[in-house]
Amino acid sequence: MAAIGAAAADGRDRRPWWVRREADIERLIARYPKPKSALMGLLWMAQEERGYVADEDVAFIAERLGLSRGYVESTCSFYSLYHRQPVGRYVIVVCGNIVCGLCGGADLIRHLEERLGVRVGETTKDGLFTLLVTNECVAACDGAPALQINEEYFHKVNPQRADRILQALRDGADLAELSETIGLTAPGAVWEAGESA
Amino acid sequence: MKYEKVLTKGIGEVDLTRIENYEAQGGYQALRKALKGMTPQEVHGEVKRANLRGRGGAGFPAGVKWGFLPDDGRPRYLCCNADESEPGTFNNRMLIEYNPHLLIEGILLAAYAVRASRSFIYLRGEFRKGFRVLTAAIEQARAKGYLGDKILGSDFSQEIVVHRGAGAYICGEETGLLSSLEGGRGEPRIKPPFPAVAGLYGMPTVVNNVETLCNVPFIIERGADWFLSIGTEKSPGTKIFSVSGMVRRPGNYELPLGIPLRELIEDVAGGLLPGRRLKAVQPGGASSPVLLPEHLDIPLDFDSVQQAGSILGTAGVMVFDDTVCMVRTALYYADFFSHESCGQCTPCREGTAWTARLLRKIERGEGTRDDIEVLKSLRSAMSGTTICLLSDFSITYLQSVLKHFAHEFEAHIEGRACLAGHAREVRSA
Amino acid sequence: MSDTVTLTINGRAVQAPKGMGLVEAAALAGIEIPVFCHHRKLKPVGVCRMCLVEVEGQRKPVPACTTQVADGMVVRTESDLIRHLRQGVLEFLLLNHPLDCPVCDKGGECPLQDNTFKYGPATSRLSVPKMKKRKAVDLGNFIVLDEERCILCRRCTRFDAEVACEGTLVVGQRAHEALITTADGETYDSYFSGNVIELCPVGALTSKAYRFKGRPWDLSRVPSVCTACPVGCNIELDFRFGELARVLSRENPEVDNGWLCDRGRFNYRYVHSADRVTQPLLRRGDTFVPVSWTEALMEIASRLRSVVRDHGPEAVGFIGGGRLTNEEAYTFQKLAREAVGTPHIDHRVAGQKVTSWAGYPGRLDDIDGADVVVLVDVLPAEQMPVADLRIRRAAQRGAALLALGPAAPGYRVPHTFIPVMPAGLARFLEEAASLVAEGEGQGRTGELSTTGAPAGPGPAGVDGQEALVRALRSARRVVAIWGGTDAAVGRALERLLNACRRTGDDRRLSVLIPGEQANSRGAEAMGVRPDRLPGHRPVEAGAAGLDTAGMLQAAAQGRLHALYLVGANLQETYPDGRLVREALSRVPFLVVQDLFLTETARQADVVLPAAPFAAKSGTYVNLEGRVQEVQEAQAAGENSRTDGDIFRALAEALGRRLDRSSHEIRWEVQHLLEELTVDGFVTGAALPGEAGAGAPAPAAGTARGDGNRADGRRLELVAVSRLYGGGGTARFDPAFSAVRPRAEAIFHPDDAAELGIAAGDPVELSSGPEAVTLPARISPQVVKGTVQVPRGAEGPAVNMLLTGGWHAPVTVRRRVLEEVG
Ligand SMILES: Cc1cc2nc3c(=O)[nH]c(=O)nc-3n(C[C@H](O)[C@H](O)[C@H](O)COP(=O)(O)O)c2cc1C
Ligand code: SF4
Ligand code: FES
């Protein structure tokens, strides 16, 4: 886990994230009255850095906050948004709760499985997409059926819109921007939506 | 009928994430007013007099809750509950994404009133955009002197920490929220002691919902009397109703409490889809027992909805028309609760899983009458027997549909096609 | 304000102390409230919901485990509602439970089974298949988890977090997928893991050693005392048809609090090991031949007699005794002093100099009330594990825990480690004593030029000595725990404590020394020392015999003609392997009395098979001076004999009857112990003075100059205790073969970088002509400038590099692998 070797020839800083981002880490910990509270924030950082939380991240976080690895694992595994295994670059999470489910969500899941060629829970071979379904309502029922990609919203995702989203991401579109456009996140489009379900 | 928008004013018309726009429509005036001319006690007193009832689901008066904090010199904390995960509820998310400064102002006023040493926003992990918006808004507010040391030249200082959750419904329960904020599993804690006495890190703590806190600036700016003039006598103020399901215009609608259910569905939300008939309505999220078409004329306030046998809860109003299979609705919730139980209490952990398995069996047409009897009997074993209310929540809706839609369960058991005509669906959960 | 409250339970008035939980209060009145998650030694969490009761004025039933009694409280534990809810909880718990009671280890002593009989539903209403979970999850070295039987009461994880303070075993996932687990890539590695088996209210956590071995009703139970370390935890030995099947705790709150370490709990299978020596063995050239006891004893007697005749009784030496009962130890020294007539006898087999200390007598429960605990060159977790739980608890509740020495104690609880090299330890303490005496800390900033080690994992920016002095100045109750290996350190520690005492009379200052063997203190009190007779009486001036080092040197130089070792595998345990090798090969006659054919026993002329602990009755003295008695639990077995019986028979063969009966020995020992007892505890011996009588001579004669290895670097070799190391029983126990420490050289990352050593590299440690090659490991836990090795490890014998103490300068080189041409 030692920090060996700084910037490599290609200009990328290859040091572990916790070395590169020490200042962020310190700031995060300082926000709380007790350092332990920074645990979830550090897990988020690890996940932002490599897409999932690796064993060495658990070890680092435990060490840094003076906790046992078991404690960190116990906390991490409680929350469904942390991944402990590698996932695709885009993690698609379809809302599987009632409103989305009744308003086309079930069809959407089948459509995505078909288009991506994977089952729910799997990652496409090119490593681009992981398809998941959540039991939690994602608080977008007025835009049912809804899904999130890396926690960015997409509403009223009918099969055609789903295809456009996938294509745009394959073409390298910016996820947050895409969410604001195709995703129909602008108010009026979602709340007080005129479109019928 | 046209009602005045309060919390939602400007949303969809101007970009309120820009602090100038928020200020232009009167934002941060209440904070200025309080810090210039009101003591914390006076701010607290005004909120108490306004009878601002909690919008997080329980309807407990915020002013009364603030009064429970012991005055013993220990640090106090304010937590804004922005974990909004109740199925069918999406108004907090809108407030955060489109009116973040209102929430910040509300938090600052509440923190001032309860003399909090630090404030936290427990933000649902899924709200990535909300996190961006809030973080940016906090920086804007800090730059303008609304946040940080000696706010607006007063003696009042405050920091707001945005804490991102990571996918767990139970972190919306106030003590689960505190466990999570402390860096642990979001497991609820036994009450008493209540958070007001021993909350975050064991210190006196107030937990309030986003919408509750967003009301505070208006109460301070316009006075409790103004607030009391809206809504009903016991449920004053407006409420943002999140309407979803089989209506023409699902969305968030801010209306005075006490508006009739019929008006909400038929006028505001555009009514049902063409050719459909209303089957049932859930007025307040996953755990609210069904209301039937015969209840369309009840006023939507905390007490009236309770009298009708349901709860206003989060005012997440879900409308089911005649295409909906009620067995399946129960199954959705059962899957949800059995996934979201924190797993501490035996009745909740085991009961929610058992419920889901029985309902799946029934939905597939493999159930028996005994299974229904078992489901009915679980009410007593799962209500009032656990640390938090999730266990109770998980069973109330089911009991109401078992009662009002017994024939649909019968149909599934007898192997007849689902009355709503749904194909059997195998969900990958 | 009164300290008791009166409440009503089921219509009966009950008095209970304030703050007591309802479960306990009801028990006082003979009313049972069934529980699963609740355990009186763990903080109540109220998760199983079995203990729900009705309390008047409460809307909902409340858990009795987390509810405290209150004056005037009205409680109902047997209402229809409560009975109904209990049935509900049991129904839930049994839903997916495999109901495999007939093959379950817990069957017959299972609260789930018992509560189901008493309170449960008649039949299961489950109409879907039971949920499947994993059946035999290997959690760690000694434990297996059956996830289907687990009821998630969390007793195990709470023990690990609250009592062991380690947090390795945790709850993972959530909802019905919740399970007991560890971090990915970790196992439940703990010296205390076995306790969770006893805590588990079902058969989810089971012992690998005991699994499927017995049913509770087949077992006969005998109370006993653990002899694996000097704490002396109280245990129950469960025999199944004469075979020792398991070891359980027999709670004694003053000693063990109901906990055991894994060594004590699981290290029993050696008793029935096939490797045991079961018959006396006589050397015939290069081999041993089994002989009868008579023949063996006659042989020993005749050889000893001729040594005495030719060279005098002082040509015979006796070593060992720390594993014996007091009665046996007493007989042992009688054998030496009276039957043979030699003063050379010593129980110390592993380099310890001091095993007890009269000056500041300490008790285990002193730790509970301490506000400062100072560890001086000692690793309590390795040397006195169950007592370490008290230390952890003290630190957890806010006591200052400071550790000084060359090796860090890997605590998870708050503590301060002050790295100090062994050679500088005495001076470090003396300087601290002066600072305490001076009465103000700010005057001097500690100058640690020579005494303080280079900055190791100590607290950044805080001077170690100042931290110690500051803690001691404000402390009311101080417990010092010391390894007892260097008498000069002991004297410096005495000075430090004296200085503390002078700053206030109301202070309680105590010292605990973990003996190197379970009954080191008993052996010492019984006079198994060259300088002391039974009862700590000093021998006449000038009449002191040789200590262990002295005897080994004498043997190596041909001055000792017979050596008798009892439970002493010196080749493994003595910190000068070369000296042992020379002594054992040179001494003309060697007797070894042991359970196994150890390396040491292999060199003997006669091997006498001793019986294991369970065959003995007698008394032991634990590290705090507590006398504990055991009864024979098991016959010695056809051909082994207890050590005491062997001594008596040998004395007889020598023509000297030591006693008329074992009763008489008992009586004498009891009398001796009573004389030494103050306040119920056996007092310690005086610390050896600077040049005091009997102060063992420094191990001269073997000092070797270091050959000039210009290419190497000098580091301080520090050999540390390991609970599972050593030359005794763990080596011959199948359950311990996997956990026995492997010999390795552990370096601080900076030293490793400087030496160009990577993990796994072979490195050569040398001292003089001796060299040992070990695989390298790198750990920031190791103090810079030292190379750490485990004692008594599997692999090359590191004690070849030592000269009587557990540290020595060595030359370190990376081994360049020779190319095989
Ligand atoms: C299972 C459960 C989930 C809850 N989820 C939320 C939630 O997502 N948001 C919320 O504000 N309150 C939620 N609550 C209610 C909170 O416990 C708490 O009452 C509320 O945050 C108080 O705020 P208020 O008084 O302003 O309404 C939940 C309660 C339970 C029992
Ligand atoms: S009722 Fe369920 S969610 Fe609430 S604390 Fe108990 S197990 Fe957790
Ligand atoms: S014993 Fe009280 S809840 Fe488990």
Chains B and C form CB pairs within 8 A to the count of: 95
Kindly report, residue by residue over C564-621, the tens digit of the pLDDT.
Answer: 999 999 998 999 999 999 999 999 999 999 999 999 999 999 999 999 999 999 999 9
Residue A64 is assigned to a structural domain of this protein: yes
Q: From the list A2, A70, A78, which residue is nearest C183 (CB)?
A: A70
* Best of C80, C87, C92 to mutate (most B CBs within 10 Å, chain B): C92
| Bridging pattern class, strands C786-790 and C677-678 | unpaired
B134, B121, B141, B100: which is closest to B10 by C-alpha?
A: B100
Q: What is the mean pLDDT of residues A149-165?
A: 95
CATH of residue B390: 1.20.1440.230
Q: Are residues C659 and C553 in the same domain?
A: yes
Q: Are residues B290 and B385 in the same domain?
A: no
User: Do residues B100 and B141 lie in contact, with contact meaning Cβ atoms separated by under 8 Å?
Assistant: no
C-alpha C506/C-alpha C509 separation (Å) is 10
C-alpha C610/C-alpha C646 separation (Å) is 8
Residue A9 is assigned to a structural domain of this protein: no
- Tokens describing residue B423: 């194909």
Distance from residue C566's CA to the centre of ligand 1 (Å): 70
Kindly report, residue by residue over A14-56, the tens digit of the pLDDT.
Answer: 899 999 999 999 999 999 999 999 999 999 999 999 999 999 9
pLDDT of residue C214: 75
Q: Are residues B98 and B214 in the same domain?
A: yes
Distance from residue B209's CA to the centre of ligand 1 (Å): 7
Distance from residue C115's CA to the centre of ligand 3 (Å): 13
Q: Is the CB of B349 under 6 A from ligand 2?
A: yes
Q: Are residues A177 and A98 in the same domain?
A: yes
Strand (E) or helix (H) holding B77: strand B77-82
Confidence of residue C637 (pLDDT cuts 50, 70, 90): confident
Determine which of B98-102, C127-131, C366-370, C646-650 has the lowest per-residue pLDDT on average.
C127-131
Residue B24 is assigned to a structural domain of this protein: yes
Nearest CA to ligand 1 atom 24: B54
* Best of C67, C155, C176, C202 to mutate (most B CBs within 10 Å, chain B): C176
User: Do residues C77 and C10 lie in contact, with contact meaning Cβ atoms separated by under 8 Å?
Assistant: yes
**Residue B245: pLDDT over 50:** yes
Residue C139 is assigned to a structural domain of this protein: yes
Q: Are residues A105 and A50 in the same domain?
A: no
**Residue C696: pLDDT over 50:** no
Last residue of a domain, one of B177, B194, B228: B228
Residue C112 is assigned to a structural domain of this protein: no
**Residue C711: pLDDT over 70:** no
- Tokens describing residue B403: 């009662």
What share of chain A has pLDDT > 90, as a percent?
A: 84
Question: A36 or A196: which carries more pLDDT confidence?
Answer: A36
Which residues 405-464 of C have a C-beta within 8 angstroms of A? 412
Q: Is C785 exposed, middle or buried (0-12, 13-18, 19+ CB in 10 A)?
A: buried
CATH of residue A99: 3.40.30.10
Residue B3 is assigned to a structural domain of this protein: no
Q: Are residues A65 and A141 in the same domain?
A: no
**Residue C355: pLDDT over 50:** yes
Q: From the list A67, A81, A153, which residue is nearest B129 (CB)?
A: A153
Q: Are residues A97 and A173 in the same domain?
A: yes
Q: Are residues A48 and A68 in the same domain?
A: yes
Nearest CA to ligand 1 atom 30: B173
Q: Are residues B400 and B271 in the same domain?
A: no
Q: Are residues A96 and A22 in the same domain?
A: no
Q: Are residues C177 and C300 in the same domain?
A: no
B322 touches chain A (CB under 8 A): no
Q: Are residues C655 and C741 in the same domain?
A: no
Please, which residues have CB within 8 angstroms of residue B341's CB and are 6 or more apart in sequence? B170, B348, B349, B352, B390, B391, B394, C174, C175, C176
Last residue of a domain, one of A78, A101, A116: A78
User: Do residues B80 and B208 lie in contact, with contact meaning Cβ atoms separated by under 8 Å?
Assistant: yes
Domains contained in chain A, number: 2
CATH of residue A63: 1.10.10
Q: From the list B94, B127, B329, which residue is nearest A98 (CB)?
A: B329
Q: What is the mean pLDDT of residues C129-139?
A: 93
CA distances from C508 to B307, C476, C497, C623, C705 (A): 67, 6, 10, 18, 45
Last residue of a domain, one of C635, C663, C682: C682
What is the distance in angstroms between the Cα of B230 and the nearest Cα belonging to chain A?
22
Q: Is the CB of B170 under 6 A from ligand 2?
A: yes
Q: Are residues C397 and C489 in the same domain?
A: yes
**Residue B314: pLDDT over 70:** yes
CATH of residue C140: 3.30.70.20
Residue A106 is assigned to a structural domain of this protein: yes
Q: Are residues B83 and B217 in the same domain?
A: yes
CATH of residue C24: 3.10.20.740
B308 touches chain C (CB under 8 A): no
Q: Are residues B335 and B312 in the same domain?
A: no
Range of the domain at C69: 4-78
Please, which residues have CB within 8 angstroms of residue A193's CB and are 6 or more apart in sequence? A142, A143, A156, B249, B250, B251
User: Do residues B25 and B14 lie in contact, with contact meaning Cβ atoms separated by under 8 Å?
Assistant: yes
Q: Are residues A64 and A94 in the same domain?
A: no
Residue B338 is assigned to a structural domain of this protein: yes
C-alpha B53/C-alpha B55 separation (Å) is 6
What is the distance in angstroms between the Cα of C176 and the nearest Cα belonging to chain B?
5
Q: Are residues B184 and B247 in the same domain?
A: no
Range of the domain at A148: 90-183
Give a three-class secondary structure readout of C485-518. Answer: CCHHHHHHHHHHHHHHHHCCCCCEEEEECCCCCC
**Residue C71: pLDDT over 60:** yes
Across C377-435, where does the E strand assignment appear?
400-405, 416-419
Q: Name the β-bridge partners of C244.
A: C239
Q: Contacts of residue B253 in chain A, CB cutoff 8 Å?
A: 192
Q: Are residues B374 and B280 in the same domain?
A: no
Angle ∠(B96,B99,B104) on CA atoms, nearest 5:
75
Q: Are residues B301 and B218 in the same domain?
A: no
Kindly report, residue by residue over B66-117, the tens digit of the pLDDT.
Answer: 999 999 999 999 999 999 999 999 999 999 999 999 999 999 999 999 999 9
Kindly report, residue by residue over B190-204, the tens digit of the pLDDT.
Answer: 999 999 999 999 999
Q: From the list A2, A55, A71, which residue is nearest C167 (CB)?
A: A71
**Residue C60: pLDDT over 90:** yes
Q: What is the mean pLDDT of residues A93-120?
A: 96
Q: What is the mean pLDDT of residues C6-17?
A: 96
Q: Are residues C370 and C447 in the same domain?
A: yes
Residue C555 is assigned to a structural domain of this protein: yes
Last residue of a domain, one of B199, B228, B257: B228
Q: What is the mean pLDDT of residues B342-356?
A: 98
Q: What is the pTM of this model?
A: 0.94
Residue B4 is assigned to a structural domain of this protein: no
Q: At residue C506, what is the residue type?
A: D
Q: Are residues A94 and A171 in the same domain?
A: yes
Q: From the list B338, B380, B385, which residue is nearest C49 (CB)?
A: B385
Q: Are residues C325 and C431 in the same domain?
A: no
Flag if C49 and B190 touch (Cβ within 8 Å).
no
What share of chain C has pLDDT > 90, as a percent?
A: 80
Residue A8 is assigned to a structural domain of this protein: no
Residue of B nearest to C150 (CA): B346
Q: Contacts of residue B386 in chain C, CB cutoff 8 Å?
A: 49
Domains contained in chain B, number: 3
Residue B313 is assigned to a structural domain of this protein: yes
C-alpha B403/C-alpha C538 separation (Å) is 91
Last residue of a domain, one of C33, C63, C78: C78
Place of tokens 């960190």: A72
Q: Are residues B177 and B98 in the same domain?
A: yes
Residue of A nearest to B240 (CA): A191
Q: Are residues C378 and C300 in the same domain?
A: no
Residue A41 is assigned to a structural domain of this protein: yes
C-alpha C87/C-alpha C93 separation (Å) is 10
Residue B84 is assigned to a structural domain of this protein: yes
Residue C127 is assigned to a structural domain of this protein: no
Q: Are residues B214 and B243 in the same domain?
A: no
User: Do residues C384 and C623 lie in contact, with contact meaning Cβ atoms separated by under 8 Å?
Assistant: yes
Q: Contacts of residue A63 in chain C, CB cutoff 8 Å?
A: none
Q: Are residues C264 and C146 in the same domain?
A: yes
Residue C687 is assigned to a structural domain of this protein: no
**Residue A195: pLDDT over 50:** no
What is the distance in angstroms between the Cα of B405 and the nearest Cα belonging to chain C?
23
Q: What is the mean pLDDT of residues C232-253?
A: 94
Determine which of C134-143, C250-259, C636-645, C683-692 has the lowest per-residue pLDDT on average.
C683-692
* Best of B332, B338, B340 to mutate (most A CBs within 10 Å, chain A): B332
Q: Contacts of residue B98 in chain A, CB cutoff 8 Å?
A: 187
Last residue of a domain, one of C49, C78, C107: C78
How far separated are the first and last CA of chain B, in Å rounded? 43
Atom of ligand 2 lying closest to residue B341 CA: 3
C-alpha C409/C-alpha C417 separation (Å) is 8
pLDDT of residue B311: 97
For C754, other C-beta atoms within 10 Å of its C-beta total: 12
Pocket of ligand 1 (CB under 6 A): B 54-58, 60, 62, 81, 83-86, 170, 172-174, 207-209, 212, 388-390, 393
Q: Are residues A154 and A108 in the same domain?
A: yes
C-alpha C473/C-alpha C493 separation (Å) is 15
CATH of residue B114: 3.40.50.11540
Q: Are residues A95 and A178 in the same domain?
A: yes
Helix (H, G, I), strand (E, B), or coil: what is residue C642? coil
Nearest CA to ligand 1 atom 28: B173
Q: Are residues C137 and C160 in the same domain?
A: yes
Q: Contacts of residue A84 in chain C, CB cutoff 8 Å?
A: 184
Q: Are residues B208 and B247 in the same domain?
A: no
Range of the domain at B341: 326-428
Q: Are residues C324 and C427 in the same domain?
A: no
Q: Is the CB of C36 under 6 A from ligand 3?
A: yes
Q: At residue A181, what is the residue type?
A: T
Residue C381 is assigned to a structural domain of this protein: yes
Q: Contacts of residue C166 in chain A, CB cutoff 8 Å?
A: 68, 70
Residue C695 is assigned to a structural domain of this protein: no
Kindly report, residue by residue over B39-51, the tens digit of the pLDDT.
Answer: 999 999 999 999 9
Q: Is the CB of C45 under 6 A from ligand 3?
A: no
Q: Contacts of residue A106 in chain B, CB cutoff 8 Å?
A: 425, 427
Residue A171 is assigned to a structural domain of this protein: yes
Determine which of B169-173, C181-185, C274-278 has the lowest per-residue pLDDT on average.
C274-278
Ligand 2 mutation pick, B83, B170, B177, max ligand atoms within 8 A of CB: B170
B299 touches chain A (CB under 8 A): no
Q: Are residues A94 and A174 in the same domain?
A: yes
Q: Are residues A178 and A111 in the same domain?
A: yes
**Residue C700: pLDDT over 70:** no
Q: Are residues B57 and B159 in the same domain?
A: yes
Residue B409 is assigned to a structural domain of this protein: yes
Q: Contacts of residue C173 in chain B, CB cutoff 8 Å?
A: 343
Q: Are residues C471 and C539 in the same domain?
A: no
Which residues 364-423 of B have a C-beta within 8 angstroms of C? 368, 370-371, 374, 380-382, 384-387
What share of chain A has pLDDT > 70, as a percent?
A: 88
Residue B2 is assigned to a structural domain of this protein: no
